[in-house]
Every structure is written in structure tokens, then in C-alpha cells.
Structure 1
């Protein structure tokens, strides 16, 4: 327990939570942790930064960490949800976010998904002209309860990571604005559908600088002005700005800030602050990454071919991007002693290996750390977005438990369950266990 008059920093809270988690044996053999106060601070930064834009509906991209208790917590802070599948929709609705508190985005929405969204009053961003034709049949002559819009690909180019850049010339997302004839077709689509009142843009996420995001927003704002001029009234009343603010994975610094991003937006399009449009945001990684971390026990160590190797339980099943594309998704790794305290001693290059049965299952390669031993722990920082929810079922490994935590001003740590460890019975069920008694085919 510590007593201090100064507010605890994110680093302070993390260190206290790590020792408390080790003391209470919550890492068995791996677990995720979410700093709930850190999430609250990120939400406060977001809402304060976007205040100059006036009417803003902030949503969290459910794909970033769509765990129901966390979505409920965010909902209580005033954050709605952006969903992109029936599963994400179901989880968000179970968490109390439904109807107008949801925005449905996906390039492959089924008729059933669209019908459910329209019945619930969920906002929908159509991803193609074909989807607009499908909406025509579903909407019919009755004015929809949902806010309906179109996702436009402004084709402003790629960021540093191609896989997360969604505004390239040949992206699968949205209607490509610069392709021959599409601008005119978009104007015509709005002219024939008075129930279309929103434009949506999402340029990309990690690796896309704020200036690239702002270029996409500028292109869609210009299109909205053109649509409204053609209509003779303000048909487009809101702009969905997407998300995608990148995160700094090399330090405790967050990276580009929301305030800095808004300043970039207003420098590019000053009229965004004139009150004529309402806005939607869909941030995920920037809201959650810095508030989460994964902790795994070190099960074994070995020395092979001149390399120190620590075998842990954190591999591609929880960190697929980091394992498969380490050049784009490196993580900071910390070494802890069995008490959950930072391990001391000379730093030695070590491979941090996961448990999966392929040689490349490495969380980090030749990372300088105090020499790890069985019973120690490793912590993977900045994993509050995507790492808890995007489980890779290789080797039928269970999804790990996730715990939220708070720390009192005196340093007392309280944990609350967000997800328990997946049981072996649940793994058997996922593997078709219910059909074991079925008669053999033929």
C-alpha cells in the first residue's frame, strides 16, 4: 500500500495492479488487465477535444475490444458502439447499447442484419451501390427510424501499414469516390433517396497519420456540400468521421492526441465547427490500447543456438498481428519477478516465445531484458485494444481471463471480472462436441 497526495499516474496504477495480481494469483497462466480509470481518462480527453465541433456521437469500434462488461462501462461514460457483424451487434445490445446507440458498418451486411438494424433504429452506413438497392427494398415507402448513410472511399492513399489503410484506390471498403462516374452516381443516389442523410469516411487506423485522416474528412465534407447544394436543402445532416487515430507502441506516450487531431481537422476544414453538421466518431485502438496489458507466466527457459528463450503462454493466439507482422506491430515487453515487481539485473537479449506449435510463435525476438527464469512473468504493454478480443484458436488454446481494475488514492487495488478463462468443456463444445453421439454418416 502506498500513500500519496499526488494523483496516481497510469504507470503507478499498472505497477500496483501487477503486484496485486501476482499476490492474488490472477495470472493462471495468463490474463489480461484493463485500467478502468485509464479508459475513463481517454474518454474525457476525447469528449473535451471534440467539443468545438458541437453535436458529436462518440462510438467505440467494438472490434477493438468487444467484451460486454467493457462496452457497458463505456456506455455509462456516454460512449456508444460501432459494430460490424451480427456477433458484435448481439454483444453490444446485451451490454445495453442498442438502437440509436449503435452504428452498423460492414462491407458484407446480410438482408437479415439490415432488417434487424432498421427494426431497431440502428444507424447504417451502406458500403456499396448494391447495398443501397437492398436498402431500397427494405425501407419501402415508410420513412426509416434509422439514420442511413453511405460509406465513401475518398481514395486519398495509404498510411505506413497497407493492411490497415482503407482509403487506397483499390480498397474493398466504401464507394470509390474518384473512380469514373461515381461522384455523379452518388449525387444521383442521394437525389433519389431523401432518407439518405449521412456520409461516412474511414481512411484507416494504425500507421495512418492525422493529416491523412483529415484529407479523407475534407473530401467527404466537400461531397456533402455538393449533395446539399444539388438538393436545395440540407439533406446530409451528419458526417461519420470514422476512427483510426494511431497509437505509440514504443513508449507510455499515447501518440497523436485527440486535441491535436481536431486541430488538424479544423485547419483543413474550418467550417466543421460552424454547427451545420452533426458528427460521429468510431475510435477503438486510441481509446483502449494504452489502458490494457497482458501478463503471462514464464513456464520454461532454455538456451539454444546461442539464444536465450523464455517459453510463455502468450503467443499468436492473443497477439497474432505481433507474431506474424512484428515489423508493424511490435510490443513493449516487461520482465517481472514472481511477486509481479519489475525484475532487475543485467539485460540479456532473449526470445519471448509463445506456446503454439510453430517456430515463428514469438512475441519478441532478442529483446534485452533481465534474464528470465521459470516462475517469472512477462507483461505485454498497450494491448487493451484487439489483443483481448481477436483470439486465434490455433492448438485449441482457451481465451484468457480479463480483469478490470481500479486503484484508490491510497494504492489499494480492486479487481472486477470482465471475462473468465474459457473452460475445457467450452473448447470441446466449440470443437463439435455436441455431435459426438450422432450416428456416423452413410
Structure 2
């Protein structure tokens, strides 16, 4: 699809996030078809891109939601996700969040410690309700991804070991207020090697078999962890190979297979547009200074993440340049030594693969407004979040001025 970058920036302003909803739909259908013949539920990981219109688009296709805060649970419900397709995960849930999740009767709460299980039981008892739960098992498998997004090793804060998980399931099965219906593992994000997923699934499936042997009926087998996408030269895992590995591991188990794609769905559906303010040379070092900053898209600064960067319509010999923003931090950059032609004021830079962990991690640092978000669908564009104003930012503070 040919995108009129210049026209969109003229219409909606800069900086700007754009998401291709047709691409998102294609990704959902491709993954769902890879599960053909198997009981499955695709729970979109809301943290990747939590715009209500994005969630609604996936909900209409049949997706559930994986949420890591009560705010994300509310977003999923507001966007039309069926309550019985919503999972509430996360290491630290407050009692009031647990209470609200139980009252809203979502599919299940994903537990990460024995202490959390006891809190959920206590809250459920006070409400006179039964809490449907799953337990996040730590298979201790190296996911071979960036250490900041690795989650399945002993050294990470997530999940419980196999022996602890079994004790928790036995306790929950005996409890009047807990109903252990699921099992979960999540070894990391941006996974491009199938072997760690396959190995983890085998370990966790064996645990399910041992639980079934003692009459604990696990109905949902939840494979967390993100299927990797192409930012640069990665080779992603084929969808069919992914689903077949999970199916093989769970052979003979009558369970519904759940997965939690976020980045897979939206990363390459999105792009971030920013305008050139001017160029600058420091003793031969070339900088292209743009109006977007690390507060808008922090992945390059936070993870040293690579995003393909292109200049729209500019011509001439390309030379290396650091693409940097106006924020007062040395880490305020989108790319370093990026080959770019000579650029002028108001030329447009496109940062590709920005649909996941872009806007959701944005901030108001330096009192900068969060950018607008737009959707492209069926050849038309529409606004799905207006640009913030200064008044939006100070609204919660102004009333306290003396």
C-alpha cells in the first residue's frame, strides 16, 4: 500500500503515529488459521499498543486480551472484548485490583507467587466468590532475546518454579475460593528461535499431565511470550511451526491453547512520523534534529533498539547522521549513523516498525504533549487519538495552585 506520508502529516501534524488496521487484521487471521483444527484463543497483549480503537479492531475479529493492570482490563472491556476472553496477568496486583477483576468476572487471574495466591483467596472469600486462576510457571529456559525482555529464567522476577507451582495448584484445588483452570508460561519477548518455546511447552505440558493425574483439571494452556518480528534482518518464526510445536507438546491433553501476541500484531503495522527542524554539524559529526523525541518513542534509547529510518522524498548523496530530538538528554535519539540525504526544514522522517511499545511507553517528559494517533483502513485515514494540549497535561495540577 502506498502511503501519502506528507499528506498525513499536513492533515494531522507532527510528530504522529500511524497504524495500518488492514495489516493488523491480516496478522490476526494468519495466526488464527495456523491454529486451525485446535481449540484456541488469541489474547492480544494490550501493553504493546493500548489504543482503544486498536483493541476494538481486534475484538471484532474475535481476539481476547492479555492485561497487566486493571486499567488494561478496563480498556479491553470498554473496547468490547468479551469478559470471558480477558486474562489479568502481572507480578504485583493490589487488593482493589483483584477485587475489581473478580467482580467483572473475567476469564482468569494469572498468579506469579504463593503470596499473591493467598491475597486472591482472601479477596475472593470476602466477596463470597470463586476466583478462576492460572499460575505462571517458570521453566528456566533461556529465550535468547534481549536481557530486558527475558522473563523465564531464575534471575527474572516472574513466575514460580515447577515444584512451587505444583504445591500452589494442590492448595488452590482444595480451596473453596480458588479454581485452578489454567497454566501459563512466558519466557520473553521478541522471540525468533522456536526451540526455547518448544522446550518450555514440553516442560509445562508434563506438569499438566502430573496435575491431571491427581484430578486437577487444567483447561487452558497459555503460551505467553511474543513471536518476534522483523525490525532489521531477523528471521521470524513461521506461524504454522509455532502452533505445531505447541500442539505437539500438548498432545493428548484436551486443553484450549492460548497465546498472547502483541508486538507480532502491531509492530510492523505502525510508523512514527516526525519533521526535520534543521541539520547540525559538530566538527564533522552530522545531526538531523527532528521535532519528535525520546518521550514519544523511547525504544532506541531504552533498549538501543533498531528501527529503520527513511526520509520522505529527499534526494542526494546519503551520508551518516544521528537522528535526534529536542529532549534534554544524550539518549534522545532514534538512530545513529543512519545514511540519509541532505535534509531541509519540514522534510519528513519516517521511523518504521513503531506500532508496538511506541505510544504506550510515551511520556510527557519536558512537558511535551503526546502525539496524535491515526488509523489507516480500507484506503482511508481517521484520527483515533487527538494530540495532547498543554491544558491536558496540567489539568490535574492547576486546581492546586495557590
User: TM-score category by the smaller chain?
Assistant: over 0.9
What CA distance in whole angstroms lies between the structure 2 residues aligned with 1:280 and 1:266?
11
What CA distance in whole angstroms lies between the structure 2 residues aligned with 1:132 and 1:148?
9
Structure 1, residues 311-341: CA drift from partner, whole Å, max 9, x if none?
A: 1122211221212332xx111001113xxxx
What CA distance in whole angstroms lies between the structure 1 residues aligned with 2:317 and 2:366?
35
* TM alignment of 1:131-170, pairs within 5 A: 131-140=116-125, 147-170=132-155
Q: Is the CA contact 2:191–2:225 (under 8 Å) kept in the aligned structure 1? A: no
TM score, norm. by length of structure 1: 0.85
Q: Given the alignment, which residue of 412, 433, 436 partners 2:398?
A: 433
* TM alignment of 1:74-113, pairs within 5 A: 74-97=58-81, 99-113=83-97
1:16 aligns with 2:10: no
What CA distance in whole angstroms lies between the structure 2 residues aligned with 1:301 and 1:60?
40
1:223 aligns with 2:199: no
* TM alignment of 1:227-376, pairs within 5 A: 227-231=211-215, 235-250=217-232, 255-266=236-247, 269=249, 271=251, 274=252, 276-326=254-304, 329-337=305-313, 343-376=314-347
1:414 aligns with 2:380: yes
Query: 1:47: which partner in 2?
Result: 32
Deviation >4 Å, runs of 4+: 141-146
What CA distance in whole angstroms lies between the structure 2 residues aligned with 1:203 and 1:349?
37
What CA distance in whole angstroms lies between the structure 1 residues aligned with 2:203 and 2:109?
20
1:41 positional shift: 0.5
| Superposition CA RMSD, Å | 2.2
Q: Is the CA contact 1:99–1:117 (under 8 Å) kept in the aligned structure 2? A: no
Classify 1:141/1:221 alpha carbon distance in 2 versus 1 (closer, same or farther; 3 Å). farther
Structure 1, residues 336-360: CA drift from partner, whole Å, max 9, x if none?
A: 13xxxxx332211111011101123
What CA distance in whole angstroms lies between the structure 2 residues aligned with 1:50 and 1:290?
22
1:105 positional shift: 0.3
Q: Is the CA contact 1:27–1:296 (under 8 Å) kept in the aligned structure 2? A: no
Classify 1:111/1:138 alpha carbon distance in 2 versus 1 (closer, same or farther; 3 Å). same
Q: Which blocks of at least 5 consecutive residues in structure 1 are unaligned? A: 1-12, 338-342, 408-412, 438-442
Q: Is the CA contact 1:190–1:227 (under 8 Å) kept in the aligned structure 2? A: no
Q: Secondary structure at the match of 2:351?
A: strand
Classify 1:184/1:101 alpha carbon distance in 2 versus 1 (closer, same or farther; 3 Å). closer
1:395 positional shift: 0.6
Classify 1:133/1:391 alpha carbon distance in 2 versus 1 (closer, same or farther; 3 Å). same
Aligned length, in residue pairs? 399
Q: Secondary structure at the match of 2:339?
A: strand
What CA distance in whole angstroms lies between the structure 1 residues aligned with 2:242 and 2:41?
17
Classify 1:371/1:27 alpha carbon distance in 2 versus 1 (closer, same or farther; 3 Å). farther
What CA distance in whole angstroms lies between the structure 1 residues aligned with 2:306 and 2:389?
30
Structure 1, residues 369-397: CA drift from partner, whole Å, max 9, x if none?
A: 22222111100101111102111332111
Q: Is the CA contact 1:17–1:405 (under 8 Å) kept in the aligned structure 2? A: no
What CA distance in whole angstroms lies between the structure 2 residues aligned with 1:429 and 1:169?
43
1:192 aligns with 2:174: yes
1:308 positional shift: 1.8
1:146 positional shift: 5.6
Q: Secondary structure at the match of 1:255?
A: coil
Q: Secondary structure at the match of 1:219?
A: helix
Q: Secondary structure at the match of 1:383?
A: coil
Query: 2:190: which partner in 1?
Result: 206
What CA distance in whole angstroms lies between the structure 2 residues aligned with 1:168 and 1:97?
32
What CA distance in whole angstroms lies between the structure 2 residues aligned with 1:159 and 1:143?
44
